[in-house]
C-alpha cells in the first residue's frame, strides 16, 4: 500500500510512515500505528487506526474488522456525497443569483445612467471583461476545492538532484551508456512515427495534443482574416455621407470591436476539435466504468469454478460487455504475445487512467501475485467499482437539474440583454436627432448607442462561455466538460445578435443600409469599385457584411437596421 502513492494518495503516505518506523527505526507495529495516529490529520483515518490497534492487541479477526469498516465507509461515502451535493446546490444558486442576475441588473442600470453620465461605459466594460470572468474563475476554483480530488490519475513524476560536490567531476561514458542512448533515441523516433501514422489515436488518448494543431491554425486563421479584410490598418477612414446629416463627428473604435467575429470563429476552430476528442474519451471511460463491476463478477464466478485469472480473461472473450469487450481482447492479445497477466492489466490501467480502474486493477494485480484463489478479492473489487459508479451516477442525476437551471438563466440573460439592446438603446435619439429635444436632454448627443450595443453583445458571449464552464464543473466535476456547454451558449448568443439583429424604426420596409450610402455617394454596386474586403461596419447590431445589391438575398433585407442618422462610417 505504501508503494502505491499514485493510487491512494495521502493514505499511502501515512502508511509509508508506519513502514518506515518498523523497517528503519525498529519500532513495533503497535507503537508505529500509535505514532501515525498522532500525526494523521484525518478523523476517519485516526478512527480506523484506533480500531485496528485494538483488534491487534486483543487478537481479534482482522479480516472481519476490515469488512465491517469497508461497509461503514461505503455508507459514509454516500452521506458525504449527499452533503457535497447540497453544497453544490447552494453554490449553483449563489452563482445564478450573484453572477447572472447581478450583472444583468447592473448592466441595465449602467445603460440608463449612461444617458446622463458618459463615464458609466467604463464601469460596464469592467463588469463585462473583468468581473464576470473573474467571478467564474473563483467559482470553478471553489468547486475544485470542494471536490477534493481529480478524476484522472496521471502517476507521479520525480526529479533527481545531483550533489554539488560532484559537479566538477567528469563522468567517463561506457559502452553500455552509448547503447542505452541509442535505444532512447530509437524509442523517441518510434513514438513520433507512431503518432504521424495515426494521429487520431493519440488525440483520443490525450485530447490536449490536438491543441498543438488547433492553436496555430487559429492564429493563422485570425491573421489571414484580419489581413484580407483590411483590419491591419489602424487608421480609420471616415466617410461623411452627404444629404443625411449636416453635423459630422469622428469616432474611433479599437480594432477589437470590429474583430469579434474573427475571435469567435477562431475560438470555435481551436476548441471544437479538443471538445470532440475530450467528450469521446470521457464517454468511453464512463462506459468502461459502468461495465467494470459486471466484468469483475464474471471473473469471480469463473475463479470460484477453478479457473485462474488468465483463464478467466480468456473465457471472457466471448462475453458481451460493450466497450469493455475491446479492452478484454487487447489484454488477451498482450498475454498471447508474452506479457504476464499483471502486465496486461497494468497496460489496461494505463489506457484508462481513471481513479476507479486504477484502484481496481492494482488490487487485482497484487492479489494475483500472492495467491491463485482471488475470488473474494474480485468480489470486493466488483462491489467497490459498483459503489463508485453508483456515486457518480447519483451525482450526475442530481446536478443535471442545476445544469438545466444554468441554461435557463443564460437564456433569460440573453433575452433581456437583446431586448434592451434592440428596443431600448437603439431607439435613443443621437446626433442631430437630439436638436428637437429640450435642453435638459442635450446630453444624449454624446450617447454612443452603437458602443453600448456592442458591449451588450460581448456580455452575452462572455456570460455564455463562463456559464458553460460552471455547468461542466458542477455536472461532471471538470471545467473541460463545460466547454461543450460554452460553445453551445456562445453560438446561440452570436446567432441571436448577428442574424436576428437589433431592429429599429421601420426596419421591415427599409432597404439595406448599403443602399442608402451608395445612393447618396453615387457609388455603383460593383465589387470592382468597392472591394468586398472593406466591409463597412455602419451599425454594430446586426453585424453588417457588405453585400452588393445584385448579390443580396431578399430574405436578408428585413434583418438589416435602418440607417439611423449617423453622420459617418468607419472603413478599415
Query: How far is 338 from 344, CA to CA, in rounded Å?
Result: 10
CA angle 150, 152, 157 (to 5 degrees): 95
Are 211 and 203 spatial neighbours (Cβ–Cβ below 8 Å)? no
pLDDT digits (tens, 9 = 90+) for 175-195: 777 777 888 888 888 877 877
Q: pLDDT higher for 415 or 531?
A: 415
What is residue 197's predicted lDDT score, i.e. its pLDDT? 79
Domains in the chain and their CATH numbers?
5-60 (no CATH), 285-391 (1.20.81)
pLDDT of residue 256 exceeding 60, the answer is no
Find the mean pLDDT for residues 95-120: 84
Predicted TM-score of the model (pTM): 0.71
**Phi and psi based region of residue 254 (left: phi greater than 0; alpha: psi -120 to 50; beta: remaining):** beta
pLDDT digits (tens, 9 = 90+) for 279-288: 998 888 888 8
pLDDT tier at 565, thresholds 50, 70, 90: very low
What is residue 437's predicted lDDT score, i.e. its pLDDT? 52
User: Distance between terminal CA atoms of the chain?
Assistant: 66
Q: Give the helix/strand (H/E) hosting 571.
A: strand 568-571
pLDDT digits (tens, 9 = 90+) for 509-558: 333 333 333 333 333 343 433 333 333 333 333 343 433 333 333 333 33
pLDDT tier at 422, thresholds 50, 70, 90: confident
Query: How far is 16 from 331, CA to CA, in rounded Å?
Result: 31
Q: pLDDT higher for 200 or 273?
A: 273
Query: How far is 253 from 448, CA to CA, in rounded Å?
Result: 11
pLDDT tier at 277, thresholds 50, 70, 90: very high
CA angle 256, 260, 263 (to 5 degrees): 100
Find the mean pLDDT for residues 484-503: 84
Amino acid at each position: 500500500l505504501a508503494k502505491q502513492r499514485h493510487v491512494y494518495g495521502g493514505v499511502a503516505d501515512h502508511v509509508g510512515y508506519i513502514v518506515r518506523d518498523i523497517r528503519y527505526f525498529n519500532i513495533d507495529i503497535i507503537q508505529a500505528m500509535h505514532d501515525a495516529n498522532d500525526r494523521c490529520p484525518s478523523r476517519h483515518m485516526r478512527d480506523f487506526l484506533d480500531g485496528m490497534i485494538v483488534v491487534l492487541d486483543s487478537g481479534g479477526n482482522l479480516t472481519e474488522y476490515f469488512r465491517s469498516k469497508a461497509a461503514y465507509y461505503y455508507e459514509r461515502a454516500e452521506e458525504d456525497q449527499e452533503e457535497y451535493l447540497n453544497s453544490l446546490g447552494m453554490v449553483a444558486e449563489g452563482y445564478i443569483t450573484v453572477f447572472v442576475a447581478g450583472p444583468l441588473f447592473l448592466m441595465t442600470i449602467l445603460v440608463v445612467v449612461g444617458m446622463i453620465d458618459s463615464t458609466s461605459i467604463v464601469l460596464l466594460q469592467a463588469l463585462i471583461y473583468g468581473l464576470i470572468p473573474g467571478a467564474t474563475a473563483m467559482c470553478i476554483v471553489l468547486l475544485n476545492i470542494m471536490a477534493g480530488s481529480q478524476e484522472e490519475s496521471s502517476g507521479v513524476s520525480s526529479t533527481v538532484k545531483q550533489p554539488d560536490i560532484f559537479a566538477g567531476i567528469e563522468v567517463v561514458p561506457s559502452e553500455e551508456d552509448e547503447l542505452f542512448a541509442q535505444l532512447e533515441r530509437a524509442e523517441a523516433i518510434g513514438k513520433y512515427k507512431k503518432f504521424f501514422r495515426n494521429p487520431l489515436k493519440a488525440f483520443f488518448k490525450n485530447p490536449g495534443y490536438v491543441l498543438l494543431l488547433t492553436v496555430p491554425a487559429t492564429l493563422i486563421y485570425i491573421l489571414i482574416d484580419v489581413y484580407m479584410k483590411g483590419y491591419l490598418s489602424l487608421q480609420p477612414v471616415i466617410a461623411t455621407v452627404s444629404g443625411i446629416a449636416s453635423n459630422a463627428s469622428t469616432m474611433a473604435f479599437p480594432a477589437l470591436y470590429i474583430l469579434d467575429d474573427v475571435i469567435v470563429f477562431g475560438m470555435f476552430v481551436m476548441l471544437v476539435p479538443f471538445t470532440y476528442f475530450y467528450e469521446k474519451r470521457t464517454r468511453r471511460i464512463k462506459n468502461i466504468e459502468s461495465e467494470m463491476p459486471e466484468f469483475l463478477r464474471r471473473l469471480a464466478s469463473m475463479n470460484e469454478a477453478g479457473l485462474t485469472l488468465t483463464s478467466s480473461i480468456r473465457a471472457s472473450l466471448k462475453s458481451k460487455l460493450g466497450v469493455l469487450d475491446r479492452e478484454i481482447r487487447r489484454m488477451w492479445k498482450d498475454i498471447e504475445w508474452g506479457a504476464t497477466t499483471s502486465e496486461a492489466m497494468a497496460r489496461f490501467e494505463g489506457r484508462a487512467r481513471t481513479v476507479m480502474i486504477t484502484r481496481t486493477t492494482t488490487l487485482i494485480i497484487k492479489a494475483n501475485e500472492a495467491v491463485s484463489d482471488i475470488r473474494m478479492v474480485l468480489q470486493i473489487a466488483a462491489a467497490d467499482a459498483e459503489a463508485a459508479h453508483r456515486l457518480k451516477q447519483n451525482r450526475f442525476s442530481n446536478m443535471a437539474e442545476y445544469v438545466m437551471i444554468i441554461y435557463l438563466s443564460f437564456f433569460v440573460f440573453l433575452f433581456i440583454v437583446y431586448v434592451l439592446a434592440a428596443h431600448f438603446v437603439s431607439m435613443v435619439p443621437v446626433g442631430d436627432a437630439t436638436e428637437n429635444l429640450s435642453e435638459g436632454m442635450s446630453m444624449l448627443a454624446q450617447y454612443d448607442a452603437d458602443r453600448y450595443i456592442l458591449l451588450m453583445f460581448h456580455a452575452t458571449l462572455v456570460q455564455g462561455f463562463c456559464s458553460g464552464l460552471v455547468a461542466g464543473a458542477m455536472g461532471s466535476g471538470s471545467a473541460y466538460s463545460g466547454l461543450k456547454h460554452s460553445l453551445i451558449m456562445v453560438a446561440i448568443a452570436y446567432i441571436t445578435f448577428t442574424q436576428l439583429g437589433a431592429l429599429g424604426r421601420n426596419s421591415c420596409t427599409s432597404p439595406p443600409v448599403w443602399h442608402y450610402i451608395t445612393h447618396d455617394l453615387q457609388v455603383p454596386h460593383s465589387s470592382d469599385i468597392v472591394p468586398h474586403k472593406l466591409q463597412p461596419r455602419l451599425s454594430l447590431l446586426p453585424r453588417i457584411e457588405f453585400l452588393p445589391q445584385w448579390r443580396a438575398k431578399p430574405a436578408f433585407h428585413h434583418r438589416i437596421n435602418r440607417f439611423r442618422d449617423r453622420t459617418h462610417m468607419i472603413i478599415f
